[in-house]
Structure 1
């Protein structure tokens, strides 16, 4: 029970730090807010913030680490195909995101904030670079796990291209969210539209892997 409580408190602190960073990011932009500001707002030291997040960029884009954990677990499960494992992770992330839009009742302000968040990321070079570097790490991890499933080396062409195609589904979901957020204020409709886009892309990936890749 002590370990459970400790882990819960750590999760709560991580969430508080990330939420505070996101608020400051939306209010002031990435360059204007400091890690010190996040620490002060949460009543902790700057060192504590860095114990949870190694960089300022990871404070804002903390969801990416959750994705990494999901990938490691999902692709290691040989009972499901790699595409189905990816779809499970993507669906969980989308469900959490759309549920958050309705948490306050009226989804309008939350949707506006999410749009603003996406715009600021797109206009911040250091965050775009962090996203790109993280996607490269995702591909490397996925290639290792896919190679293990097929009895190959991670640097063989097949796991490399399969991992790249698989991680492309995250880009599809991100771009679909941005596109549909501009035209809808209904979280349920947003979820359905984004899911449809991701599944369209997933069918192409699944067909390629089924034809050329061990299950």
Structure 2
């Protein structure tokens, strides 16, 4: 089923949210996360502080907004996969495509703006702590998309999200250590194939190697 396009009001909200996040990240990168107040972000974006809080309940959310579109990405990949394609295969294909296009979510991106953002994110303890909530929501959304018994789906989702996280973190580590994305790519692809291969071998067939959609249980 096609998701209806957002209306004018929702598009305006999305633009405002994006502007607030962009202004905040720019200020945080220039001066440091802890040295910029929410009031200063609001002033720079020419909105009131209460207005800013209507869009972002916490200061950390201004930075993590860049993850917002990715929170349910794995769930969307599983829900939109082709008939006869196993969930893990769809996710493997999607991750490999992300490596090829240097999607920052895969960690295989050495664009200066991305590296600066990662330094801000992973160098700020409160932002790292806030990431746990993002990962939990991503896992729950994926478990729902996988379907089946709740505990079984949650276990599978947890393993899948963990593999994706570890693969991305390893790519980030190598690039932050000074390697170029092009030099890391071959190893990143091999690691991804190995990681998703372990999921195929270890998960129940309906998730990893069952070859398509199972009937609802």
TM-score range, shorter chain: 0.7 to 0.9
1:103: which partner in 2? none
Which of 87, 91, 98 is 1:86 aligned to? 91
| Distance of 2:68 and 2:154 partners within structure 1 | 21
Query: More displaced, 158-167 or 81-90?
Result: 81-90
Query: Which residue, out of 19, 31, 40, partners 2:22?
Result: 19
Q: Which of the pair is proportionally richer in helix?
A: 1
1:180 aligns with 2:174: yes
- Counterpart of 1:77 (choices 68, 80, 88) is 80
What's the Cα RMSD here?
3.2
Deviations 1:18-72 (A, max 9, x none): 2222212222222221222222222222233233323211210113321123234
The match for 2:202 is 208
The 1-side partners of 2:140 and 2:204 are apart by 21
Q: Where does residue 163 of structure 2 map in the other structure? A: 169
Structure 2 vs 1, CA of residues 194 and 34 (structure 1 numbering), >3 Å: closer, same or farther? Answer: farther
Compare relative contact order (CA 8 Å, sep 6+) and give the higher one, 1 or 2: 2
In structure 2, relative to structure 1, the CA distance for the partners of 1:5 and 1:137 (3 Å cut) is: closer
| TM-score when normalising by structure 2 | 0.72
Q: For 2:51 and 2:156, how far apart are their aligned partners in 1?
A: 38
2:136 aligned with 1:133: no
Asked whether the equivalents of residues 75 and 141 of structure 2 are also in contact (C-alpha less than 8 Å), the reply is: yes
TM superposition shift of 1:166: 0.9
- Which stretches in structure 2 are left out of the alignment for 5+ residues? 213-217
Q: Tell me which residue corresponds to 1:104.
A: none
SS in 2 for 1:44: coil
Return 5+ residue gaps in structure 1 as ranges.
Answer: 99-106
